[in-house]
Structure 1
């Protein structure tokens, strides 16, 4: 019975001791000075990222041919959508490029072997305003 008393007393003692702390939360008096730095770092990170797009090629092309077209433009294949490519008989690739998005899109849209090009932007669900 004595052991039960100790078990009940210890959690209560912890709550009492932790509640009696004299330290106040640290307040940042210059929150506006930090925000521009964070935004600037975010812009630098975004510039270093690849421009990404989803490319659908015309019927009659194989996945290997489509990959060669992408590589010939100096871009890289990030993912091949094999199931969609086989069911539609149109190769569909997720590609990346170090070029700016608009320049990449213009190059790819001029190619007669490509059916469609869509930018693949990454979105943040909880983007701060």
Structure 2
């Protein structure tokens, strides 16, 4: 596994059969997901982290559509060939993270109102 993500293990073509592949799958850790982020800590993501994720995915979508580099310098070719991202999926992930940020913000506003705190 690389970078603590689940599901990006390398698959060798000549593995030896279905038994060995099944044993390898059983040794893998169970996926823990919260939204679109895999193996996130149980405490979740903050409002600002969700906004950052939305910005990152929108930049990826724009890099694919208009062939301009992202803030990290990766361009269209990298996202299509190495990252295996698509324009539609990147835009969907940006919208999901934006929705989750709004949802977190509403939840914070409701709990603040319950405590009598003005926002």
What TM-score, normalized to structure 2? 0.19
Which has the larger strand fraction?
1
By relative contact order (CA 8 Å, sep 6+), the higher-ranking structure is 1
Q: In terms of Rg, which structure is larger? A: 1
What TM-score, normalized to structure 1? 0.18
Which has the larger helix fraction?
2
